[in-house]
Amino acid sequence: MKLLVFSDIHGDELRLARLMEIEADHYIAAGDLTSWGHGLDRLGQVLAKRAGRVWVLPGNHESAETIAAFARRHGLNDFHERSFELNGYHIAGFGYSNPTPFNTPGEYGEAEIARRLRKFAALKPLVLVCHCPPYGTPLDRIREGVHAGSRSLRAFVERYQPAYLLCGHIHEAAGVSVRLGVTQAFNVGKAGYLLELPPL
C-alpha cells in the first residue's frame, strides 16, 4: 500500500497536478495548500482527479472549518483529527501548527496540541501525518540553532513512538528524514514523499 503525502503547496497548481499524476493508494495533503486560504477551490479541482482517495489537513494558513467545507465541495476527505485503517495500520491526521509570529488562522497552543493528540495514543501501529514537525529535530530546523516545531508533538512521538511520522510546515527542512527512537520521520515538503507500508 502506497501513501503519497505532501505539504506546503501554497497555491502551486502545477506542482499539485504533477503530484496527482503519481500512482498511489491514498493521497494526503498535509496542510497549507494555500497562503492565507486564497485560491483553495482552484486547487480542489486538481485534487478532485483522485477524489475519494484524497485526505486533506488544514495547515496554519487554513482553518479547520474552511478545509471541512472545501472537502465536502470537492468530494475529498476531511482528515483533521481523524484516522482510518489501512492493511492493519492506523493512519491519523492532525493539522494546524504551534503558534507562529504571523498570527495565521490555523494555530494551536502547545497545551491544546497535547490534548488533541491524545486520541491517537492507543493506535498501533500508527502512521501519524501532521502539518507541523516535532521541536528540536532536523525536521523543524530553520537554520543552525533555530527550531520552530511543536514541543507537544515531540513529547507525543517520544512517548508513543508511532511507526511513521510525516510532516511539513518548515520549508527549510523539506526533504529531511530522521529516526526518532523507532519512529521513521519525514518532512515531506511540496515535493512529497511516497510511503510504501510494508506488510504486517
What CATH number corresponds to the domain at position 148?
Answer: 3.60.21.10
pLDDT of amino acid 85: 97
H or E segment at 67? Answer: helix 64-74
Residue 90: which domain range? 2-196
Read off the C-alpha cell for 169: 510546515
Instruction: Decide: 158 and 181 in contact? Cβ < 8 Å.
Output: yes
134 with 114: CB under 8 angstroms? Answer: no
Residue 106: the pLDDT is 98
Give the sheet arrangement for strand 2-6, strand by strand: 77-78, 54-56, 26-29, 2-6, 193-196
Encode pLDDT of 76-123 as tens digits. 999 999 999 999 999 999 999 999 999 999 999 999 999 999 999 999
**Number of domains into which the chain is organized:** 1
